[in-house]
Chains A and B, each alone.
Chain A
């Protein structure tokens, strides 16, 4: 009975970790002279229970969700894609070029091409580190990190240079055609269909990772590349594929930011969504089906932060700190294997004691 309780507690440890982070966060809020209860109430209340607030949450959820999936899939193959930020910039770049410079055509075709272009942009940006890792063994973390900055500067150049709107006060492109703008789903807020696409993709990816032989191959590579090779799996190909899929997903995130939120290519349009994706992926324990939940939570934090500041005066930057705490605690909680914990030792002792008692009983 106790064992069962302990197992459940252990399985939900991510939730406990988040709670712990929020508690430490409340200490920070107190230090700033604020009221944690009031702050959290406004934060979560505005983000999830107010129509406009929830709309903002959904808007932020779209890129975080997709960027999170962009980390999860390569992770399945044992690769760390920390280049989501760069990949989403490239996705935005390619899709806005497609939106603004392709010849006239039916809107459905045009939209499809924009989306494909965006995915291609992200995939391309992920292909570079993928090939370097698979064929040269170069650590993908460093390469993807560096490529982020290159992509950001590339877009900055494009939006401020050749693609810049005439007479614009700061670097942004011309507006995309009306019929390419993504449908809104929660009027009168800004929430767009991109987030729904993200949720559907999360489901699709979950199913394919778990129920298909393709998913089996990728998981095997992640668990044990040597055994995967022995099993006849082409490890290099799986690695490259995983990164390309991840890049395409991040590219999609950028695409939806252009097609669904800003309707233009802006310089520095992303507030670190790529990195938020990494956080979302870890909070979801690298399981695609949980990413929408963690993305929702993180988006809510972000959306609520500004509103909280306006309503209660508590600085929105504390939410950044809380985010850092959440990652720390969740990562720490996930790193604990049950065997290492004190509970496991207690349980083992109890089992031994029970066995001794049984033996004594049968001997008597």
Chain B
């Protein structure tokens, strides 16, 4: 029987799945919030990278992982603020602004990384978060070690998902966000501060994506390398759509991507005759198929992608 079906391996795969999904999940959560307010955040990739860089910077300077997290979040929010000015205030096309932000992040993080970390960048390991096992829960077979022996950022993810869900669907704040995304005109005349709502959502997504990036540095690889976000921000966009613009759905979709990625890593060694690229490409193929399958039955927020101008004649 194939070795990878053994329980021990299953736990490993699931654990890897979770770890690979976390950055995507954070970014996707942020993306869901902005999309609900009517803004396409193509810059998630750049914000993950900014978070990763900020985290590395914070830890490099202070040795404290929590400082790294804070600095990472600030970097992500800063980038999101620039995107917000470009696309919400100036009305620049959301896709172009997102691409610009990604390019900017790519260049700035690589440049400053070399400047600040110097040649130690890829060789010296930074301090990071260690696992916080939760006693009792950890002993549940299979699920226990996977879910409850993780670092604090993963626990943060667990908590954020229901909070964001509740926020979007049960609070006034969420109602105003959803109204802005469906019909900004109606929201504006009803007294919702449309620009403010969109700004806040975008900046929040910057913070969330940045946490995802910080996670990679502080809990996985403990270094910063150029372009380490490696397309996760774009996968997050796919996860949002796959997850039907819903916080729970987006995180589940992120897990799916993580699972494919974990499988691919595993099968590279277990089955060398099958080209590993098949598995690397698999999540992307799955997303496209899902898009085709789900589209039409699931509608995005109606005003997504369109800048809002009040004195339009």
Question: Which of the candidate stretches A8-16, A35-43, A239-247, A318-326 sits at the interface with the other chain?
Answer: A318-326
Q: Report the Cα distance A149→B231, complex, angstroms.
A: 9
Interface residue stretch chosen among B3-11, B127-135, B136-144, B234-242 = B234-242
Q: Would A320 and B110 be within 8 Å (CB), given that A142-B291, A149-B281, A157-B275 are in contact? A: yes
Structural contact, B99 and A82, CB atoms closer than 8 A: yes
Q: Indicate which residue in A136, A146, A279, A334 contacts B295 across the interface (CB closer than 8 Å).
A: A136
Instruction: Decide if A315 touches B281 in the complex (CB within 8 Å).
Output: no
Given contacts A80-B95, A156-B277, contact A331 B287 (CB under 8 A): no
Complex Cα distance A146/B226, Å? 21
Q: Does A328 contact B (CB under 8 A)?
A: yes
16 extra interchain contacts, Cβ-Cβ under 8 A, other than A138-B295, A324-B103?
A: A28-B108, A141-B42, A142-B238, A142-B291, A146-B284, A147-B284, A149-B284, A156-B277, A317-B107, A317-B226, A324-B106, A324-B107, A327-B99, A331-B86, A331-B97, A335-B91
Residues of B within 8 A of A323 (CB): 103, 107
Cβ contact within 8 Å between B281 and A153: yes
B156 at the interface (CB under 8 A from A): no
Our pick among B238, B284, B291, B296 for the contact of A150 (Cβ within 8 Å) is B284
**Minimum CB–CB distance for B53 against chain A, Å:** 12
Asked, given contacts A32-B115, A157-B277, A282-B96, whether A143 binds B295 with beta carbons under 8 Å apart, the answer is: no
**CB interface residues, B 254-302, toward A, < 8 Å:** 275, 277-278, 280-281, 284-285, 287-288, 291-292, 295-296
**A124 to chain B: closest CB distance in Å?**
15
Residue of B nearest to A329 (CB): B100
Known: A150-B281, A161-B275, A320-B110. A279 touches B234 (CB 8 A): no
Within the assembled complex, what's the spacing in Å between the Cα atoms of A150 and B295? 21
Docked complex Cα distance between A132 and B105 (Å): 31
**Shortest Cβ distance from residue B241 to the other chain A in the assembled complex, whole angstroms:** 7
Residues A137 and B101 in contact, CB atoms below 8 Å apart: no
Q: How far is the CB of A40 from chain B (nearest CB, A)?
A: 16
Residues in chain A within 8 A of chain B (CB atoms): 28, 31-32, 80, 82, 132, 136-138, 141-143, 145-147, 149-150, 153-154, 156-157, 161, 275, 278-279, 282, 315, 317-325, 327-328, 331-332, 334-336
Q: Which of A147, A154, A325, A335 contacts B288 (CB 8 A)?
A: A147
Instruction: Give Cα distance in the complex from A317 to B108, angstroms.
Output: 8
Q: Once the chains are docked, how many angstroms separate the CA of A320 from the CA of B226?
A: 12
B93 CB-CB contact with A under 8 Å: yes
Q: How far is the CB of B257 from chain A (nearest CB, A)?
A: 11
